[in-house]
Structure 1
Amino acid sequence: MKHARYTHRGPVPQDVIEAVEFTLPPPAEGQVLVEVTAAPINPSDVLTLTGQYGSLPPLPAVGGNEGVGRVAELGPGVAGLKPGQCVLLPVGSGTWTTHMLADAKALVPLPDGADHLQLSMLTVNPPTARLLLSDFADLQPGDWVVQNAANSAVGGYVVQLAKARGLRTVNVVRRDDARAAVAEAGGDVVLVDGDDLVARVREATGGATIALAIDAVGGMATERLAQSLAPGGTVVNYGAMGGEACLVSPASLIFRDIRLRGFWLSRWYKSADPKMRADLFRELSGMIASGRLRAQIQATYGIDAIREAVAEAASGKRSGKIVITPNA
């Protein structure tokens, strides 16, 4: 057994983590031993290693916030699970590991036969995209949504989930070579960010009323989204890829009644009741299992290559997700 462990945090994320051997006892009453099959590296994981994320686990810690595995062994008193069954791992449980012990009640059974690489990303990016589209504006088929960082993992899920609901998307990226992939994924309009973005959004949509903007960049990119909205519209920020605070002008806030909201999935998980979480996982896992929802994967790495995997995940020009496959 090996896991990716870190005892301190620092500015270079790959320098603080390493694969080390460990042992586990047999599963106790109500526990399950799980063999981890896939666990992605998210931006939040990188920020956790550098100490810049909003919630940091005590040290030492094992990296990884989400993933999937197969039931390897059942402890006494466990019912409803069977060896070999695919399960969703608990959020924040240190998933960059070959094996883990988990409470049976915390494991979510997943569809058999589905792609474990795709299922491993179920608990962070798909719920974020789904809730961004559903919880901040009353959107109807045919409505437009504008988002930046459209070539990110969340951006890709927004495009797919919006299309499934009959919504249309204006997708903003920060470099020209990112446009093609977003268009191929189903983005209705793909634009490169810039000072004249508002005019180009208006032209591309025929001056449509846009009620919702999704922002992951911050800085003046937030204001450009705000100016693209109809009066009374909402900008929802869920990230700061540009490294700057969100900027929204008094003209947008006061004269056009634009609202700026924040979204953090961790807070939603804390406030949502178990049924809400289960319903969301059921909806999204079904779409993933059927192939209607998927993310681009750039590369997979074994647990022994965790430093190389984190370095690639932290680089700025990826075309897909980096996924750890600890037992490959």
Structure 2
Amino acid sequence: MKAAIFQQTGLPADVLEATERPIPEPGPGEILIRVIASPINPSDLSFIQNRYGIRPKLPDSGAGFEGVGVIEKPGEGVDLRIGMRVSFTSVGTWAEYAIANAQAIIPIPDMMTDDVAAQLFVNPFTAYAMVQDSGVKAGPDQWLMLTAAGSAFGKMVIQLCHLKGINVIGTVRRDDLNDELKALGLTAVINTETEDMAHRVKQITGGKGVQCVLDAVGGHTATEALKCLAKNGTMLVYGLMSSEDPIVNVGLMIFKGLTVKGFWLSDWMKHADSQIRKEVAQQVISLLASGTIKLPVEASYGLDQIKEAVQHADRPGRHGKILVRP
């Protein structure tokens, strides 16, 4: 089979190669999946650069954390039908075949397309869980703020909040996506290159600030976003796109009672109550299968084009996800 492999960590376009490998055999409790499509997420790119919460096993590490495929061969103790279409998580989904734990798969309803099913887990589950953990409710005085609003994840959060009636302020660095974001339900947009973020948030919220910030940028953006929090507000950090740590104003944290904490879906899935996990899965699948929430795809690439694919995925101003189609 062909797979995207890297033998050392570094920039994905520099270290990834499409390489022939033997088709793996599933062990007890595992499934061999013939991959249909897999998205390129920021977490995938961070993993290849050794900047993620789990570390690659070198040499010859696979890449890609989620995808959609068809069950090819169940391992010992697995009672699942060959040919069933499933969304799954694993390490090494940018390949013609991948091994997944039987507990890490979700059967896909017929009405859900492969493009959507490929993106079912990482962004939708993270978005749903973070909006839930934000504590922000519908109401004129309740505000959630989202940095990097134009990302695929940002668009997911905007659509979820719109359905829940939650006011959302989104930050962008360019204005070319503003109309699209507002059509998805974004209440207000702030261009961090041309506007004073804290001043604009005060204007938008009547001087009260926002109850929660979801930040994936870090650096100066997160530093300024912290100033936008209302008293007893919370910042949930789930990424570091700028590769720079924010400067935390201790005075603000003390006198406004602010909380800053990280969010990692893997940990959330481990510690969340099983009933909550089940409810999130049902809600996410329902919203995506019905088309209530959209997950657009901008382009698809084969494994032989993996370098071009990761370069495209890292390009600013995209309108949809980049998929790898083995």
State the TM-score, normalizing by the size of structure 2: 0.89
Per-residue deviation, 1:268: 1.8
Give the letter aligned to residue 182 of structure 2. A
Give the match for residue 135 of structure 1.
Answer: 133
Could you tell me which runs of 5 or more consecutive residues in structure 1 were left unpaired when the two chains were aligned. none
Give the match for residue 169 of structure 1.
Answer: 168
Does the C-alpha gap of structure 1 residues 29 and 13 become closer, same or farther in structure 2, counting only changes over 3 Å?
closer
Give the match for residue 183 of structure 2.
Answer: 184
CA-atom RMSD in angstroms: 2.3
Per-residue deviation, 1:128: 1.5
Farther-moved stretch of structure 1 (200-209 vs 95-104): 200-209
Give the match for residue 126 of structure 1.
Answer: 124
Matches within 5 A, 1:36-55: 36-55=35-54
Matches within 5 A, 1:228-239: 228-239=228-239
Counterparts of 1:102 and 1:197, CA distance in 2: 43
Asked if the contact 1:141/1:167 (under 8 Å) is kept, the reply is yes
Per-residue deviation, 1:84: 2.9
Give the letter aligned to residue 86 of structure 1. R
Per-residue deviation, 1:179: 1.9
- Percent identity between the two aligned chains: 37
Matches within 5 A, 1:89-168: 89=88, 91-142=89-140, 143-168=142-167
Task: Determine helix, strand or coil for the equivalent of 2:316.
Answer: coil
Per-residue deviation, 1:274: 5.2
Asked if the contact 2:129/2:280 (under 8 Å) is kept, the reply is no
Give the letter aligned to residue 202 of structure 1. K
Counterparts of 1:30 and 1:214, CA distance in 2: 36
Cα deviation 1:182-239 (Å, max 9, x = unaligned): 2232211112125622222232344456311111122232233222222111111111
Give the letter aligned to residue 92 of structure 1. S
Give the letter aligned to residue 226 of structure 1. L
Give the match for residue 323 of structure 1.
Answer: 323
Asked if the contact 1:66/1:92 (under 8 Å) is kept, the reply is yes
Task: Determine helix, strand or coil for the equivalent of 1:298.
Answer: strand
Give the letter aligned to residue 83 of structure 1. I
Give the letter aligned to residue 66 of structure 1. E
Counterparts of 1:43 and 1:106, CA distance in 2: 20
Per-residue deviation, 1:312: 1.4
Per-residue deviation, 1:163: 1.2
Counterparts of 1:213 and 1:30, CA distance in 2: 39
Counterparts of 2:9 and 2:75, CA distance in 1: 35
Asked if the contact 1:220/1:248 (under 8 Å) is kept, the reply is no
Farther-moved stretch of structure 1 (202-211 vs 309-318): 202-211
Does the C-alpha gap of structure 1 residues 101 and 266 become closer, same or farther in structure 2, counting only changes over 3 Å?
closer
Counterparts of 1:201 and 1:54, CA distance in 2: 32
Could you tell me which runs of 5 or more consecutive residues in structure 2 were left unpaired when the two chains were aligned. none
Give the match for residue 16 of structure 2.
Answer: 17
Task: Determine helix, strand or coil for the equivalent of 1:270.
Answer: helix
Does the C-alpha gap of structure 1 residues 299 and 259 become closer, same or farther in structure 2, counting only changes over 3 Å?
same
Per-residue deviation, 1:120: 1.3
Cα deviation 1:255-292 (Å, max 9, x = unaligned): 22222121122222333465544432222122111111
Farther-moved stretch of structure 1 (278-287 vs 21-30): 21-30
Farther-moved stretch of structure 1 (297-306 vs 249-258): 249-258
Cα deviation 1:93-117 (Å, max 9, x = unaligned): 3111112244444422121231111
Aligned residues: 323
Matches within 5 A, 1:222-233: 222-233=222-233
